[in-house]
């Protein structure tokens, strides 16, 4: 033990001396990452559903311990390690069998003894069998989801490593620099690379990094090649060759990402069209025949259809969409800026300024309040008949408000019972439930992301200009101007631009507040970074501060190279967006117009068909009664019609289905275009949900009123003829 301590002290002494020789400041030397720090970091940034899944797997393993075969166990272990789960392959296998068996057992028993429904018995058996397949793939699904999130930061990770390595050839410092500036989950992986060295799992940073890179060999060989080029630069005696390898590392990452995305975009058309037809168009068109089915088949009820359309189909479409996303190439994407800058978390609330103070309101309270109000309105047709003394008003112009009547079913448990509501008023009030879900979800996500999206858009505008601004700043430093004066010169040249404002704030802090360059940029109260929270800009300024210590010419060259890197990344990202433009525009039209419009028309047509069948059945019954129970054609026709499905329930099923499809398709479209960008996903869900809900309700309401008027006119003509 004493020998080990002596060795550590000697290594620490020479490491400190080496850092002084290389002019590396103490803050750039990676801080020792202890096991406790890593566990706390993991606890903060791993999704909460992971811990629930871990607990269920552990419990399942204690109750029913099942071990997968060797090949499956190795694949499960690989997925478990990728997403840092504290489970065993045996635990995941036990969970995948035990939970579905419980669903089959309890769901089947409840359906048979309480609801007395064979439909639900078979449904729960089918659901349980499907869950077994899905749960067995759960670790792989979580690992793919982790890879998708981690891959969003890959280009930026290589950018930060290359930027650091260009001015300081220190791999450990470069990885620590990247871990500091990228967002989770890739930052967690980078910190674990450092942690494995500190805990002596690996002898060197290179060995630890190589072991980690092997986990990406199947999915992103460019990421591995880029890091290997960076490692190779450490052994180059020539400075020019070292810098050439460092620059090539970023080029390899960008070129590989573009090539893989090109193939993905070409192969994306067919799966998206299949998803749209099977998940949206065919189910909506199939809804047209459901009222006829319910009318002529008394055993089919509205809740059977609700289970299929509001549970089974959305889960199936979501699963298909996730499979499409799992094939998305890794490499680029946006991140939630509030993850990298926790100070911005407050902007997820509604901020009301009162004097010098701020009042923050969680959007959840507002969205729930609005949802409850509309939900109660939507439930009025069900609540009002329960109120003592309530009487359904007389029909106005032939249309009922609620229209509850005695069942006309010829057999079964519904004989003699009250069914409904079939009235037009009830159908109109049912839109309240659709609005409750649509507006509640839309308002919550829009208010939660609106402020952060504005900040990010301003920041992105600055990043787009920043390459040119850095180039100019580098030229001023190259001319021999001190950094304190160079900021003011560039701010004057680029006035009235976002970049000019950034440099102007730095210049004012230096000239009027007497701050150093570092304080002018990073001061927690008035630094320029407060107004432009961008990791790229922050890292560029840190490179500037570090390189200034080595002289203005080195600082100038460093900024010019960072400028070039930013331009290259921006150019490739724009080319990638062009590749996906056709698919994304098609999906956006489906979300914002096609699906809500088709669903609205279907509801209107169904309302008309239900009204005609209901009145036709009633009139046939009336004719039969007037004829004194005469058997014959009229009796046969009247016997064909059952109770039918009230438009009230049908509209709720379709409205909720539209909301579910808008949510799923928005998540899919955002995932294809931006990767795992949760901030933009929330903003698009809020925007699309509000727009699509209003469009659906408007179309469905107009078509329902119009077609019911047509149906009423037709039936009056039929009655007069009869």
CA contacts within 13 A on the Cβ side of 523: 16
CA-derived radius of gyration, the chain: 32
pLDDT at 634: 43
pLDDT at 32: 44
Confidence of residue 547 (pLDDT cuts 50, 70, 90): confident
Instruction: Report the C-alpha gap between 82 and 212 in whole angstroms.
Output: 9
Distance of alpha carbon 160 from the chain centroid? 26
Residue 300 phi, psi dihedral angles, 5° rounding = -90, 120
Instruction: Report the C-alpha gap between 297 and 645 in whole angstroms.
Output: 11
Residues 6 or more apart from 43 whose CB is under 8 A from it? Answer: none
| Cα–Cα nearest to 448, from 368, 361, 354 | 361
Instruction: Reply yes or no on whether the pLDDT at 601 is more than 70.
Output: yes
> Helix, strand, or coil here: 406?
strand
Distances (CA, A) of 669 to 575, 655, 661, 663, 665: 18, 21, 12, 10, 6
Listed range (86-100, 309-323, 623-637) with the worst mean pLDDT = 623-637
Instruction: Reply yes or no on whether the pLDDT at 522 is more than 70.
Output: yes
CA contacts within 13 A on the Cβ side of 559: 31
Distance of alpha carbon 78 from the chain centroid? 25
Per-residue burial over 612-630, b if 16 or more Cβ lie within 10 Å, else e, is bbbbbbebbbebbeeeeee
Instruction: Reply yes or no on whether the pLDDT at 686 is more than 60.
Output: yes
Ranked by mean pLDDT, the top range of 260-274, 301-315, 386-400, 573-587 is 301-315
Percent of the chain with pLDDT over 90: 12
**Where is 223: in which H helix or E strand?**
helix 221-233
Distances (CA, A) of 319 to 51, 99, 518, 586, 665: 22, 19, 49, 20, 12
Instruction: Report the C-alpha gap between 605 and 707 in whole angstroms.
Output: 7
pLDDT at 631: 47
> Helix, strand, or coil here: 354?
strand
Residues 6 or more apart from 417 whose CB is under 8 A from it? Answer: 406, 407
Listed range (266-270, 367-371, 533-537) with the worst mean pLDDT = 533-537
Q: 156 near 337, Cβ under 8 Å?
A: no
Break the chain into its structural domains and give their ranges.
1-27, 44-136, 455-567
Q: Which ranges constitute the DSSP H helices of 402-533?
A: 424-429, 431-478, 483-493, 498-511, 517-522
DSSP one-letter string for 88-156: -HHHHHHHHHHHHHHHHHHHHHHIIIII--HHHHHHHHHHHHHHHHHHHTHHHHHHHHHHHHHHTTHHH
Instruction: Reply yes or no on whether the pLDDT at 1 is more than 60.
Output: no
First-residue to last-residue Cα distance in the chain: 106
How many CB atoms neighbour CB 346 within 10 A?
12
**CA quadruple 534, 535, 539, 540: dihedral, nearest 10:** -40
Confidence of residue 29 (pLDDT cuts 50, 70, 90): very low
pLDDT at 414: 53
pLDDT at 297: 62
Residues 6 or more apart from 542 whose CB is under 8 A from it? Answer: 177
Handedness of CA 657, 660, 664, 667 (dihedral sign): positive
Average pLDDT for 573-594: 79
Q: What angle do CA 291, 294, 300 make, to 5 degrees?
A: 140
How many CB atoms neighbour CB 347 within 10 A?
19
Q: What is the pLDDT of residues 360-380, one digit of tens each?
A: 888 899 999 999 999 999 999
Instruction: Report the C-alpha gap between 599 and 465 in whole angstroms.
Output: 44
pLDDT at 636: 47
Instruction: Report the C-alpha gap between 58 and 87 in whole angstroms.
Output: 7
CA contacts within 13 A on the Cβ side of 81: 13
Per-residue burial over 545-561, b if 16 or more Cβ lie within 10 Å, else e, is bbbbeeebeebbbbbbb
Residues 6 or more apart from 313 whose CB is under 8 A from it? Answer: 279, 283, 657
Average pLDDT, the chain: 79
| Cα–Cα nearest to 45, from 452, 437, 342 | 342
Instruction: Report the C-alpha gap between 512 and 515 in whole angstroms.
Output: 8
Average pLDDT for 679-683: 87
Q: Six-digit token pair at 301?
A: 């009820």
Average pLDDT for 588-609: 84
Instruction: Reply yes or no on whether the pLDDT at 356 is more than 50.
Output: yes
User: Pairing relation of β-strands 350-354 and 405-406?
Assistant: unpaired
Instruction: Report the C-alpha gap between 202 and 205 in whole angstroms.
Output: 7
Instruction: Reply yes or no on whether the pLDDT at 637 is more than 60.
Output: no
Distance of alpha carbon 410 from the chain centroid? 49
Residues 6 or more apart from 661 whose CB is under 8 A from it? Answer: 279, 280, 314, 317, 595
- Tokens 């004066």 locate to 485
pTM of the full predicted structure? 0.74
């Amino acid at each position: 033990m004493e020998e080990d301590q002596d060795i550590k002290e000697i290594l620490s002494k020479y490491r400190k001396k080496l850092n002084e020789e290389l002019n590396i400041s103490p803050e750039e030397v990676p801080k020792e990452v202890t096991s406790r720090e890593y566990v706390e970091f993991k606890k903060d940034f791993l999704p909460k559903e992971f811990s629930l899944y871990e607990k269920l797997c552990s419990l399942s393993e204690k109750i029913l311990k099942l071990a997968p075969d060797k090949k499956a166990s190795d694949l499960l272990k690989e997925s478990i390690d990728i997403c840092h789960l504290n489970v065993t392959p045996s635990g995941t296998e036990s969970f995948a069998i035990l939970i579905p068996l419980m669903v089959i057992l309890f769901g089947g028993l409840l359906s048979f003894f309480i609801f007395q429904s064979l439909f639900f018995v078979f449904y729960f058996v089918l659901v349980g069998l499907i869950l077994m397949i899905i749960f067995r793939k759960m670790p792989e699904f979580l690992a793919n989801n982790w890879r998708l999130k981690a891959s969003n930061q890959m280009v930026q990770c290589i950018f930060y490593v290359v930027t650091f390595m260009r001015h300081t050839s220190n791999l450990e410092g470069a990885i620590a620099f990247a871990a500091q500036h990228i967002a989770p989950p890739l930052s967690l992986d980078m910190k674990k690379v450092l942690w494995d060295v500190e805990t002596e799992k690996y002898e060197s940073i290179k060995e630890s990094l190589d072991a980690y890179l092997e986990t990406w060999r199947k999915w992103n060989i460019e990421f591995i090649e880029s890091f290997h080029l960076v490692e190779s630069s450490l052994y180059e005696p020539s400075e020019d060759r070292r810098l050439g390898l460092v620059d090539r590392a970023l080029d390899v990452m960008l070129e590989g990402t573009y090539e893989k995305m090109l193939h993905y975009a070409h192969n994306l058309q067919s799966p998206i069209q299949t998803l749209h037809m099977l998940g949206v168009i065919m189910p909506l068109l199939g809804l047209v025949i459901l009222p006829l089915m319910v009318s002529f088949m008394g055993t089919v009820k509205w809740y059977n259809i609700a289970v299929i359309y509001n549970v089974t189909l959305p889960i199936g479409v979501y699963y298909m969409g996730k499979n499409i996303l799992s094939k998305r190439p890794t490499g680029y994407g946006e991140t939630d800026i509030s993850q990298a800058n926790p100070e911005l978390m407050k902007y997820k609330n509604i901020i009301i300024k009162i004097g010098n103070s701020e009042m923050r309101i969680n959007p959840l309270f507002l969205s729930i309040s609005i949802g409850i109000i509309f939900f109660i309105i939507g439930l009025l047709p069900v609540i009002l008949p329960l109120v003592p003394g309530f009487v359904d008003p007389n029909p106005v112009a032939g249309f009922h408000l609620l229209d509850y009547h005695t069942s006309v079913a010829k057999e079964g448990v519904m004989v003699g019972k009250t069914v409904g509501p079939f009235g037009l008023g009830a159908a109109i009030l049912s839109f309240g439930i659709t609005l409750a879900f649509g507006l509640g979800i839309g308002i919550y996500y829009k208010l939660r992301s609106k402020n952060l999206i504005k900040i990010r858009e301003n920041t992105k505008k600055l990043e787009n200009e920043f390459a040119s601004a850095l180039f100019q700043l580098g030229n001023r430093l190259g001319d021999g101007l001190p950094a304190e004066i160079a900021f003011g010169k560039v701010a004057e040249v680029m006035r009235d631009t976002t970049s000019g404002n950034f440099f102007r704030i730095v210049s004012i802090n230096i000239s009027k507040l007497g701050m150093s360059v570092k304080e002018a940029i990073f001061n927690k109260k008035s630094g320029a970074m407060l107004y432009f929270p961008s990791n790229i800009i922050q890292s560029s300024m840190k490179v500037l501060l570090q390189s200034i210590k080595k002289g203005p010419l080195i600082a100038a060259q460093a900024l010019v190279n960072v400028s070039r890197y930013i331009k290259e990344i921006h150019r490739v990202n724009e080319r990638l967006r062009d590749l996906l433009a056709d698919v994304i525009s098609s999906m956006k039209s489906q979300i914002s117009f096609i699906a809500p419009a088709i669903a609205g028309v279907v509801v209107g047509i169904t309302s008309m068909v239900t009204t005609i069948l209901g009145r036709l059945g009633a009139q046939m019954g009336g004719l039969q009664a007037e004829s004194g129970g005469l058997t014959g054609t009229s009796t046969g026709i009247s016997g064909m019609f059952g109770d039918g499905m009230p438009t009230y329930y049908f509209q709720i099923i379709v409205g909720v289905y539209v909301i579910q499809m808008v949510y799923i398709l928005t998540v899919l479209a955002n995932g294809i275009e931006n990767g795992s960008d949760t901030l933009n996903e929330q903003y698009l869900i809020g925007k699309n949900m509000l727009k699509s809900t209003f469009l659906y309700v408007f179309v469905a309401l107009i078509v329902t009123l119009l077609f019911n008027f047509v149906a009423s006119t037709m039936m009056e003509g039929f009655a007069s003829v009869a």
